[in-house]
RNA sequence: GCCGAAGUGGCGGAAUGGCAGACGCGACGGUCUCAAAAACCGUUGGGGGCAACUCCAUGUGGGUUCGACUCCCACCUUCGGCACCA
């Protein structure tokens, strides 16, 4: 920090720069003093701040850092404010990627995972992200997954874990079953991207549907969650109210349908079953057999994307059978069609083409009858003339007991009336349906928590007794996926004796979905080293719920919904104090960076590099420059000169290993400092937005820290010498102004930090720095006011540039850590100005400004405004109709 | 198709009913230097004017208001989520 590199010609003071080599000593200092250890301030109000724990992917780049920098800034803010803060870290270490990497690099998943953890941890330490490492958890450690197994058994005992055979999502590449949440809209696996197939398998499920209503209702309690996350969860839970109505086939088989419009039952003209519906085989008449089987087979083979495409023409087959409409005993044909999904409702619908868009399209496609039962007000629609369904309000017609009732959901309206009628006549009942499915947790893979259950020879299942947990993942040599769990090949491990009878039995060979591991890890942090329990009630009561959870929007549904579910289960068990895990949620935006690819230009002809040819499907043969630019532009690329050669520069894309645009943490921090990286990330954009990482942004952050050092560095001894002394002096105007600016800044930084407006908090600190520099240049010496400012500045900087803040604190004679120095408080009185500027408007346009005493009242302001020359000239002698006076702000004269 | 968010200088963004463009980046001019970099000083929304100044301007069109980036209505565009959910 002492390397003088130039001389400022105006003040002849040595210029110093921010030196990143000061950082390691402060990290060691914090570590040694335990500044960021939870429980350091017993009795103080506490905070639990948590970033979503990562999958250990090895070397971190600065894009990974953003999440941690936000959490670290908040942690430091609350620590300097005097809170006892829990800020722990861990590793979501189980899961497919380790196994896939193990297969690819021929290393054991454990070895690969732990070496990644060591590397990632080093990056975080170098970056000075401070965690209470004594509470580190690693999900692939038996001391952790033991409690995963315990949790599984708790759910089992409560009837919330069950085994069932069902049609499940099968990923043919990763060779495993996936949860619904892990399959995207196009029917592709979240990991492998492969088209998922449907298979009938026996699997373990968690009964999350038992909590559907609470998961939905309690979203309203989460006032500090982003609205869009809550909306996504609401949509995912997908509650709809309606009725179940029982139809009967002519042979007497009961066919239950779910409908949200039981009022339109009288308009049902046919019925549709999902192709997979269990009654299809039984009901199909012999003459239709071949046709129906062909259709069922075809729809099984069709990919999810083809099947669910909304633009597709409706397809279906009449199965030859008829059902009786329970409300009017009408005989209606039964069809199968793939637009009816087995996974929703009952897999069977009554079709009311007049009032449902899809049924309408189907009826038109196959010439099925349409009957109007809701007549829109003031219209008289007829089935023949309809060009689209009428799903809206009107009055019920052709509906027996419902005729004349207004169509709608409210009291005294058709839906309620229909449900009442159905219940009274025993033909159906009001019901609520959710789109949420139970959580399928079995995985036929090696690298996960073994499911702690034992299968007896008679087919029954018993849990592994608690005192035999954990069921340790066995060592095997071949973890290649093969359609059944690789664990099945560990025969010594699989073959056990029944804990109750001593008879030979077999272990369950599947492992748990990694989302089970991450659904409760935040609870383990409260008591991470407890060998007796999953966590103690007291520890959970002390810290839970998490006060601030920070992570990516990509977990809006999966992880957050599962965590809420598990917390509710544990709450019902009396183990946690609150039935929601995360009081506040913040979803941060991505860090992006442009990708630069060198391009060959010879004789004005451009040859694209191989990687761009493949990625953007560009021509292999050389093209002229204009064509090249146009082709690149289509993909958001520009062609630019770079030194001697040329580069194709992409638009900003998320930093990632695959895009090759990550800036590694280690080298960056060593060259520029972690404080620079933090300022870049926090200042560039609001933290919820994505931000572009640029060299200019880095230079700007560096400049800011350099200016701080250049201002305070040369004066450090003098500032330190004045520390704690009280001065009696008559403040100059400049003193008063700087004092006011300091307190304005304290207020703004405090408020902005609490609201996650780190970019404006840092802007305020830059602004104050600019003022302080001007002040110091004019004063020409270290004044009492400058000393006051310097002391406060170090503390205000501490959440954002912690190493420099600690250095400043030490320079200025501070004892111990800046984080024990307390956060500066602003003084409202200091914000007052004796004289303020008031804006004068004529007809809403600014026409002048006057300086007036701050306490000037309305009458005075009015007087001054009206007598103002410029105001007069704009009134142009017209009569003044109205004068609006906003004391302290403006006067608007309406003429 | 449904739901949601957003649209402000060359760029990131600031201002949630009261001076639009804080802070930063970039650009331009200057100081220092043999030169460059760094650093420092200044200018920087657009039009008009020698100037004091003035007009226009926050996606588009309307409205409410003394006053609208901010509130209301309609539309356009972009992004995100869901999507044959009965």
The pLDDT of A679-704, averaged and rounded, is 94
| Distance CA A361 to C1' B15 in A | 52
Q: Which residue is nearest to nucleotide B53 (CA to C1')?
A: A847
- Nearest to A155, CA basis, from A472, A519, A437, A467: A519
Q: Which nucleotides of B are covered by protein (CB under 7 A)?
A: 3-5, 12-15, 18-20, 22-26, 31-32, 37-41, 54-55, 66-68, 80-86
pLDDT band for A2, please (50, 70, 90 cuts).
very low
10 Å CB burial of residue A7 (0-12, 13-18, 19+) is exposed
Three-state SS letters, A679-739:
HHHHHCCCCCCCEECCHHHHHHHHHHHHHHHHHHHHHHHHHHHCCCCCCCCCCCHHHHHHH
- Nearest to A149, CA basis, from A454, A497, A590: A454
Nucleotide nearest to A690 (CA to C1'): B12
pLDDT band for A308, please (50, 70, 90 cuts).
low
Q: Can you read off the two tokens belonging to residue A419?
A: 């449900």
ipTM of model:
0.95
pLDDT at A303 (0 to 100): 53
List, for residues A417-443, the tens digit of each pLDDT value: 999 999 999 999 999 999 998 998 998
Mean of pLDDT over chain A: 89
List, for residues A711-751, the tens digit of each pLDDT value: 999 999 999 998 877 778 888 989 999 999 999 999 999 99
Count of Cβ atoms closer than 10 Å to residue A357 Cβ:
13
Nucleic strand B within 7 A of Cβ A349? yes
Crossing angle, helix A758-779 and helix A784-797, to 10 degrees?
160
| Distance CA A632 to C1' B80 in A | 26
Distance of CA A863 to the CA centre of its chain: 56
pLDDT at A179 (0 to 100): 66
Nucleic strand B within 7 A of Cβ A231? yes
pLDDT at A144 (0 to 100): 98
Residues 423-442 of chain A: which lie with beta carbon within 7 Å of strand B?
A: 433, 435
Q: Which residue is nearest to nucleotide B3 (CA to C1')?
A: A231
Nucleic strand B within 7 A of Cβ A885? no
A8 has pLDDT over 50: no
CA A784 to each of CA A274, A359, A827, A833: distance values in angstroms, whole numbers, following the listed order? 82, 81, 18, 20
| Distance CA A634 to C1' B47 in A | 34
With a CB cutoff of 8 Å and minimum separation 6, the contacts of A770 are none
Nucleotide nearest to A886 (CA to C1'): B18
Nucleic strand B within 7 A of Cβ A338? yes
Residues 802-841 of chain A: which lie with beta carbon within 7 Å of strand B?
A: 837, 839, 841
The DSSP symbol for A106 reads T
Nucleic strand B within 7 A of Cβ A246? no
pLDDT band for A482, please (50, 70, 90 cuts).
low
pLDDT at A6 (0 to 100): 36
pLDDT at A748 (0 to 100): 96
A5 has pLDDT over 50: no
Nucleic strand B within 7 A of Cβ A691? yes
Q: Which of A3-17, A169-183, A366-380, A613-627 has the lowest mean pLDDT?
A: A3-17
With a CB cutoff of 8 Å and minimum separation 6, the contacts of A492 are A474
pLDDT at A177 (0 to 100): 73
List, for residues A316-359, the tens digit of each pLDDT value: 999 999 999 999 999 999 999 989 988 899 999 999 999 998 99
Nucleic strand B within 7 A of Cβ A851? no
pLDDT band for A300, please (50, 70, 90 cuts).
confident
Residues 589-628 of chain A: which lie with beta carbon within 7 Å of strand B?
A: none
pLDDT band for A483, please (50, 70, 90 cuts).
low
Q: Can you read off the two tokens belonging to residue A447?
A: 């690298």
Q: Are A674 and A800 in contact (CB under 8 A)?
A: no
Nucleic strand B within 7 A of Cβ A770? yes
Nucleic strand B within 7 A of Cβ A115? no
Nucleic strand B within 7 A of Cβ A686? yes
pLDDT band for A24, please (50, 70, 90 cuts).
very high
């Amino acid at each position: 920090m002492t390397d003088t590199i130039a001389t400022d010609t105006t003040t002849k003071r040595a210029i110093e720069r921010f030196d990143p080599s000061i950082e390691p000593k402060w990290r060691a200092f914090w570590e040694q003093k335990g500044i960021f250890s939870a429980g350091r301030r017993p009795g103080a109000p506490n905070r639990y701040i948590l970033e979503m724990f990562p999958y250990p992917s090895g070397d971190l780049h600065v894009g990974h850092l953003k999440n941690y920098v936000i959490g670290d800034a908040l942690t430091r803010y609350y620590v300097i404010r005097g809170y006892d803060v829990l800020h722990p870290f861990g590793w979501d270490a189980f899961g497919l990627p380790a196994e896939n990497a193990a297969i690819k690099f021929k290393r054991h998943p454990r070895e690969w995972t732990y070496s990644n953890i060591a590397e990632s941890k080093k990056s975080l330490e170098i970056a000075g992200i401070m965690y209470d490492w004594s509470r580190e958890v690693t999900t692939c450690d038996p001391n952790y997954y033991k409690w995963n197994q315990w949790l599984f058994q708790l759910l089992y005992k409560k009837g919330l874990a069950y085994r069932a055979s069902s049609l499940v999502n099968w990923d043919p590449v990763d060779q495993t079953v996936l949860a619904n949440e892990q399959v995207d809209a196009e029917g592709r696996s979240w990991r492998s991207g492969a088209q998922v197939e449907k298979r009938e398998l026996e699997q373990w499920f968690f009964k999350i549907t038992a909590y559907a209503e609470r998961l939905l209702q309690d979203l309203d309690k989460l006032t500090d969650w982003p609205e869009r996350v809550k909306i996504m969860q609401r949509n995912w839970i997908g509650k709809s109210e309606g009725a179940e109505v029982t139809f009967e086939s002519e042979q007497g088989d009961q066919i239950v349908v779910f409908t949200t419009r039981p009022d339109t039952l009288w308009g049902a003209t046919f019925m549709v079953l999902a192709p997979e519906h269990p009654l299809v085989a039984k009901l199909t008449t012999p003459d239709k057999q071949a046709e129906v089987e062909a259709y069922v087979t075809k729809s099984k083979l069709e990919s999810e994307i083809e099947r669910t495409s909304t633009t597709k023409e409706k397809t279906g087959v009449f199965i030859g059978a008829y059902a009786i409409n329970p409300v009017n005993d009408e005989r209606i044909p039964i069809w199968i069609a793939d637009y009816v999904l087995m996974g929703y409702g009952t897999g069977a619908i009554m079709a009311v083409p007049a009032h449902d868009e899809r049924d309408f399209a189907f009826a038109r496609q196959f010439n099925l009858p349409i009957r109007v039962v809701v007549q829109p007000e003031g219209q008289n629609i007829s089935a023949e003339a309809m060009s689209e369904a009428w799903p809206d309000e009107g009055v019920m017609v052709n509906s027996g007991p419902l005729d004349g009732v207004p169509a709608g959901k409210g009291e005294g309206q058709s839906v309620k009336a229909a449900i009442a009628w159905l219940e009274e006549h025993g033909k159906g009942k009001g019901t609520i349906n959710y789109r949420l499915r139970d959580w399928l947790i079995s995985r036929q893979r090696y690298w996960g928590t073994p499911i702690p259950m034992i299968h007896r020879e008679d087919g029954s299942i018993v849990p592994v007794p608690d005192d035999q947990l954990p069921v340790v993942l066995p060592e095997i040599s071949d973890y290649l996926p093969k359609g059944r769990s690789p664990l099945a090949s560990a025969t010594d491990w699989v073959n056990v004796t029944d804990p109750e009878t001593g008879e030979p039995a077999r272990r369950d060979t599947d492992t748990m979905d990694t989302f089970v591991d991450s659904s409760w890890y935040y609870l383990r942090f409260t008591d991470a080293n407890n060998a007796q329990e999953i966590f103690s009630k007291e520890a959970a009561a002390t810290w839970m719920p998490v006060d601030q959870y920070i992570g990516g929007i990509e977990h809006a549904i999966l992880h957050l919904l599962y965590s809420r579910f598990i917390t509710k289960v544990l709450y019902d068990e009396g183990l946690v104090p609150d039935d929601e895990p995360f009081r506040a949620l913040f979803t941060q935006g991505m860090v992006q960076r442009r990708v630069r690819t060198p391009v060959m230009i010879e004789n004005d002809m451009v040859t694209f590099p191989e990687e761009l040819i493949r990625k953007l499907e560009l021509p292999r043969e050389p093209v002229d420059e204009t064509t090249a630019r146009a082709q690149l532009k289509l993909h958001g690329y520009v062609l630019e000169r770079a030194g001697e050669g040329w580069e194709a520069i992409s638009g900003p894309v998320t930093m990632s290993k695959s895009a090759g645009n990550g800036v590694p943490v280690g080298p960056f921090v060593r060259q520029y400092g972690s404080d620079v990286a933090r300022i870049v990330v926090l200042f560039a954009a609001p933290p919820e937005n994505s931000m572009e990482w640029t060299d200019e942004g880095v230079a700007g952050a560096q400049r800011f820290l350099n200016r701080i050092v250049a201002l305070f560095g040369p004066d450090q001894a003098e500032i330190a010498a004045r520390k704690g002394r009280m001065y009696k002096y008559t403040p100059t105007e400049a003193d008063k102004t700087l004092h006011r600016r300091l307190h304005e800044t304290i207020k703004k930084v405090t408020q902005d930090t609490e609201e996650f407006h780190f970019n404006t908090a840092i802007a305020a600190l830059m602004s104050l720095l600019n003022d302080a520099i001007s002040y110091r240049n004019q004063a020409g010496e270290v004044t009492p006011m400058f000393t006051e400012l310097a002391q406060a500045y170090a503390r205000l900087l501490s959440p954002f540039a912690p190493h420099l803040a600690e250095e400043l604190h030490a320079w200025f004679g501070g004892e111990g850590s800046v984080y024990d120095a307390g956060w500066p408080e602003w003084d409202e009185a200091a914000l007052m100005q004796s004289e303020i500027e008031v804006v004068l408007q004529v007809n809403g346009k600014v026409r002048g400004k006057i300086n007036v005493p701050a306490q000037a009242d309305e009458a005075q302001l009015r007087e001054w405004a009206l007598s103002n020359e410029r105001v007069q000239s704009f009134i142009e002698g017209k009569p003044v109709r109205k004068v609006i006076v906003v004391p302290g702000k403006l006067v608007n004269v309406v003429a």
